[in-house]
A and B are shown apart, each in its own frame.
Chain A
Amino acid sequence: QVHLVESGGGVVQPGRSLRLACAASGFTFTDSGMHWVRQAPGKGLEWVAVISYDGSKKYYADSVTGRFTISRDNSNNTLFLQMNSLRAEDTAVYYCAKSDTDGFGVDYWGQGTLVTVSS
Protein backbone atom coordinates (compact mmCIF):
# COMPACT_ATOMS: atom_id res chain seq x y z
CA GLN A 1 0.00 0.00 0.00
CA VAL A 2 1.50 3.28 -1.14
CA HIS A 3 2.04 5.77 1.65
CA LEU A 4 3.35 9.33 1.23
CA VAL A 5 3.80 11.52 4.29
CA GLU A 6 4.83 15.15 3.94
CA SER A 7 6.46 17.18 6.70
CA GLY A 8 8.26 20.48 7.22
CA GLY A 9 5.44 22.94 6.67
CA GLY A 10 4.86 25.92 8.91
CA VAL A 11 4.77 29.71 9.10
CA VAL A 12 7.73 31.54 7.58
CA GLN A 13 8.47 35.18 6.85
CA PRO A 14 8.74 36.47 3.29
CA GLY A 15 12.25 36.06 1.89
CA ARG A 16 13.10 33.17 4.19
CA SER A 17 13.58 29.48 3.38
CA LEU A 18 11.86 26.23 4.21
CA ARG A 19 12.57 22.59 3.37
CA LEU A 20 9.77 20.09 2.90
CA ALA A 21 10.20 16.33 3.05
CA CYS A 22 8.06 13.43 1.86
CA ALA A 23 8.60 9.96 3.30
CA ALA A 24 7.57 7.23 0.86
CA SER A 25 6.71 3.59 1.48
CA GLY A 26 4.74 0.74 -0.06
CA PHE A 27 6.36 0.88 -3.49
CA THR A 28 9.83 0.77 -5.04
CA PHE A 29 10.83 4.40 -4.56
CA THR A 30 13.94 4.05 -6.72
CA ASP A 31 11.77 3.10 -9.72
CA SER A 32 9.45 6.10 -9.56
CA GLY A 33 9.54 9.74 -10.52
CA MET A 34 8.07 12.07 -7.91
CA HIS A 35 6.21 15.39 -7.99
CA TRP A 36 5.35 18.33 -5.79
CA VAL A 37 1.94 19.94 -6.39
CA ARG A 38 0.52 22.81 -4.37
CA GLN A 39 -2.91 24.23 -3.60
CA ALA A 40 -3.39 27.77 -2.30
CA PRO A 41 -6.22 28.16 0.24
CA GLY A 42 -9.57 27.80 -1.52
CA LYS A 43 -7.89 27.51 -4.93
CA GLY A 44 -7.11 24.83 -7.49
CA LEU A 45 -4.09 22.61 -8.01
CA GLU A 46 -0.77 23.92 -9.33
CA TRP A 47 2.04 21.63 -10.40
CA VAL A 48 5.38 22.70 -8.88
CA ALA A 49 8.18 20.30 -9.78
CA VAL A 50 9.09 16.77 -10.84
CA ILE A 51 12.21 14.65 -10.40
CA SER A 52 13.13 11.48 -12.26
CA TYR A 53 13.57 8.14 -10.49
CA ASP A 54 17.34 8.60 -10.20
CA GLY A 55 17.37 12.34 -9.61
CA SER A 56 19.12 13.10 -12.89
CA LYS A 57 16.24 15.10 -14.39
CA LYS A 58 14.34 17.90 -12.71
CA TYR A 59 11.69 20.25 -14.08
CA TYR A 60 9.98 23.21 -12.47
CA ALA A 61 6.99 25.47 -12.93
CA ASP A 62 7.94 28.97 -14.10
CA SER A 63 6.56 30.39 -10.86
CA VAL A 64 9.21 28.65 -8.74
CA THR A 65 12.17 28.30 -11.11
CA GLY A 66 15.33 29.65 -9.53
CA ARG A 67 13.83 29.65 -6.02
CA PHE A 68 12.78 26.02 -5.38
CA THR A 69 14.89 22.87 -5.68
CA ILE A 70 13.53 19.34 -5.80
CA SER A 71 15.78 16.49 -4.70
CA ARG A 72 15.59 12.94 -3.40
CA ASP A 73 17.43 10.52 -1.15
CA ASN A 74 16.88 7.07 -2.61
CA SER A 75 18.70 5.38 0.26
CA ASN A 76 16.04 6.70 2.64
CA ASN A 77 13.00 6.77 0.32
CA THR A 78 12.56 10.50 0.85
CA LEU A 79 11.67 13.37 -1.46
CA PHE A 80 12.56 16.98 -0.67
CA LEU A 81 11.58 20.47 -1.73
CA GLN A 82 13.95 23.27 -0.78
CA MET A 83 12.08 26.57 -0.97
CA ASN A 84 14.08 29.80 -0.91
CA SER A 85 13.09 33.47 -1.23
CA LEU A 86 9.55 32.62 -0.21
CA ARG A 87 6.72 34.95 -1.16
CA ALA A 88 3.19 35.41 0.13
CA GLU A 89 1.89 33.77 -3.04
CA ASP A 90 3.74 30.57 -2.14
CA THR A 91 1.27 30.04 0.72
CA ALA A 92 -0.37 26.70 0.01
CA VAL A 93 -0.77 23.08 0.97
CA TYR A 94 2.10 21.20 -0.66
CA TYR A 95 1.44 17.65 -1.79
CA CYS A 96 3.98 15.09 -2.86
CA ALA A 97 2.74 12.67 -5.49
CA LYS A 98 4.09 9.57 -7.16
CA SER A 99 4.51 9.32 -10.92
CA ASP A 100 2.37 6.66 -12.52
CA THR A 101 3.83 3.60 -14.26
CA ASP A 102 3.93 5.42 -17.60
CA GLY A 103 6.04 8.13 -16.01
CA PHE A 104 3.77 10.91 -17.18
CA GLY A 105 0.82 11.36 -14.84
CA VAL A 106 0.55 10.99 -11.09
CA ASP A 107 -1.27 8.23 -9.25
CA TYR A 108 -0.83 8.42 -5.47
CA TRP A 109 -0.88 11.58 -3.34
CA GLY A 110 0.17 12.40 0.19
CA GLN A 111 -2.01 14.25 2.71
CA GLY A 112 -0.12 17.50 2.23
CA THR A 113 1.70 19.98 4.46
CA LEU A 114 0.68 23.64 4.87
CA VAL A 115 3.18 26.39 4.20
CA THR A 116 2.18 29.91 5.24
CA VAL A 117 4.36 32.83 4.18
CA SER A 118 3.53 35.83 6.29
CA SER A 119 5.25 38.56 8.26
Chain B
Amino acid sequence: DVVMTQTPLSSPVTLGQPASISCRSSQSLVHSDGNTYLSWLQQRPGQPPRLLIYKISNRFSGVPDRFSGSGAGTDFTLKISRVEAEDVGVYYCMQATQAYTFGQGTKLEVK
Protein backbone atom coordinates (compact mmCIF):
# COMPACT_ATOMS: atom_id res chain seq x y z
CA ASP B 1 0.00 0.00 0.00
CA VAL B 2 1.12 3.54 -0.69
CA VAL B 3 1.64 5.48 2.54
CA MET B 4 1.20 9.25 2.46
CA THR B 5 3.04 11.28 5.10
CA GLN B 6 2.22 14.94 5.65
CA THR B 7 4.29 17.53 7.49
CA PRO B 8 3.67 19.43 9.61
CA LEU B 9 0.59 17.97 11.31
CA SER B 10 -0.24 21.38 12.70
CA SER B 11 0.59 24.77 11.27
CA PRO B 12 -0.13 27.99 13.17
CA VAL B 13 -0.02 30.88 10.73
CA THR B 14 -0.55 34.64 10.77
CA LEU B 15 -3.28 36.02 8.53
CA GLY B 16 -1.78 37.48 5.37
CA GLN B 17 1.34 35.35 5.65
CA PRO B 18 2.21 32.32 3.47
CA ALA B 19 1.77 28.70 4.49
CA SER B 20 3.20 25.49 3.12
CA ILE B 21 2.31 21.83 3.63
CA SER B 22 4.39 18.89 2.47
CA CYS B 23 3.27 15.43 1.45
CA ARG B 24 5.57 12.51 0.79
CA SER B 25 4.54 9.15 -0.67
CA SER B 26 6.20 5.82 0.06
CA GLN B 27 6.32 5.05 -3.69
CA SER B 28 6.44 7.09 -6.86
CA LEU B 29 3.00 8.38 -7.81
CA VAL B 30 3.74 8.47 -11.53
CA HIS B 31 1.10 6.33 -13.21
CA SER B 32 1.84 4.14 -16.23
CA ASP B 33 -0.15 6.66 -18.31
CA GLY B 34 2.39 9.35 -17.40
CA ASN B 35 0.12 11.29 -15.08
CA THR B 36 0.62 11.77 -11.34
CA TYR B 37 -2.66 11.49 -9.48
CA LEU B 38 -1.91 13.57 -6.41
CA SER B 39 -4.66 15.84 -5.09
CA TRP B 40 -5.06 18.28 -2.22
CA LEU B 41 -8.30 18.60 -0.27
CA GLN B 42 -9.48 21.18 2.25
CA GLN B 43 -11.88 20.36 5.08
CA ARG B 44 -13.22 23.35 6.96
CA PRO B 45 -14.62 22.72 10.47
CA GLY B 46 -17.92 20.85 10.29
CA GLN B 47 -17.80 20.59 6.50
CA PRO B 48 -17.10 17.77 4.02
CA PRO B 49 -13.82 17.75 2.15
CA ARG B 50 -13.45 19.99 -0.89
CA LEU B 51 -11.10 19.46 -3.82
CA LEU B 52 -8.50 22.20 -4.21
CA ILE B 53 -5.77 20.82 -6.47
CA TYR B 54 -5.62 17.78 -8.76
CA LYS B 55 -2.76 16.14 -10.66
CA ILE B 56 -0.18 17.96 -8.52
CA SER B 57 -0.77 21.53 -9.66
CA ASN B 58 -4.17 22.03 -11.30
CA ARG B 59 -6.56 24.26 -9.38
CA PHE B 60 -10.13 22.96 -9.30
CA SER B 61 -13.08 25.10 -10.35
CA GLY B 62 -13.64 28.06 -8.04
CA VAL B 63 -10.43 27.65 -6.06
CA PRO B 64 -8.64 30.97 -5.39
CA ASP B 65 -5.28 31.45 -7.06
CA ARG B 66 -3.56 31.91 -3.70
CA PHE B 67 -3.55 28.09 -3.57
CA SER B 68 -0.86 26.34 -5.60
CA GLY B 69 0.54 22.83 -5.80
CA SER B 70 3.91 21.56 -6.90
CA GLY B 71 6.15 18.52 -6.77
CA ALA B 72 6.96 15.32 -8.58
CA GLY B 73 7.55 11.63 -7.97
CA THR B 74 7.22 11.21 -4.22
CA ASP B 75 7.42 14.78 -2.87
CA PHE B 76 4.64 17.32 -3.13
CA THR B 77 3.79 20.70 -1.65
CA LEU B 78 0.67 22.79 -1.19
CA LYS B 79 1.28 26.51 -0.77
CA ILE B 80 -1.07 29.28 0.26
CA SER B 81 0.43 32.62 -0.74
CA ARG B 82 -1.47 34.72 1.82
CA VAL B 83 -3.58 32.94 4.41
CA GLU B 84 -7.12 34.23 4.92
CA ALA B 85 -9.45 33.45 7.81
CA GLU B 86 -11.58 31.16 5.64
CA ASP B 87 -8.55 28.93 4.99
CA VAL B 88 -8.62 27.55 8.54
CA GLY B 89 -9.22 23.81 8.53
CA VAL B 90 -7.52 20.51 7.81
CA TYR B 91 -5.70 19.84 4.55
CA TYR B 92 -5.21 16.36 3.12
CA CYS B 93 -3.16 15.05 0.26
CA MET B 94 -4.63 12.08 -1.58
CA GLN B 95 -3.07 9.73 -4.09
CA ALA B 96 -5.10 7.86 -6.71
CA THR B 97 -2.27 6.32 -8.73
CA GLN B 98 -2.28 3.01 -6.88
CA ALA B 99 -5.62 2.45 -5.16
CA TYR B 100 -6.46 5.42 -2.94
CA THR B 101 -4.80 6.71 0.20
CA PHE B 102 -4.86 9.94 2.15
CA GLY B 103 -2.29 11.72 4.24
CA GLN B 104 -2.98 12.10 7.98
CA GLY B 105 -4.08 15.70 7.53
CA THR B 106 -2.50 19.03 8.46
CA LYS B 107 -4.42 21.39 10.70
CA LEU B 108 -4.05 25.01 9.62
CA GLU B 109 -4.87 27.42 12.40
CA VAL B 110 -4.47 31.13 12.97
CA LYS B 111 -1.90 32.28 15.52
Contacts and interface: CB of A to CB of B under 8 A. Distances in A.
B35 to A, nearest CB: 7
Contacts of A95: 48-49
B80 interface: no
Contacts of B55: 102, 105
A44 B48 contact: no
Contacts of A104: 31, 35, 37, 96-97
B39 interface: yes
A45 B37 contact: no
Contacts of B41: 45
B50 interface: yes
A102 B55 CA distance: 10
Interface stretch (B10-18, B67-75, B98-106): B98-106
* Range, interface on chain A: 20 to 34
Interface stretch (A69-77, A79-87, A107-115): A107-115
Contacts, number: 58
A28 B51 CA distance: 19
Nearest to A107: B51
A110 B60 CA distance: 17
Interface string A92-119: 0001010010101111111110000000
Contact of A105 (B37, B48, B104): B37
A45 B105 contact: yes
A59 interface: yes
B102 A105 contact: no
A37 B39 CA distance: 15
Interface in B37-55: 37, 39, 41, 43, 48-51, 54-55
Contacts of B35: 102, 104
Interface of B: 31, 35, 37, 39, 41, 43, 48-51, 54-55, 60, 90, 92, 94, 96-97, 99-105
Give the top 10 A-B pairs by smallest Cβ distance, nearest first: A47-B100, A104-B96, A104-B37, A109-B48, A45-B102, A105-B96, A44-B105, A105-B39, A107-B51, A109-B49
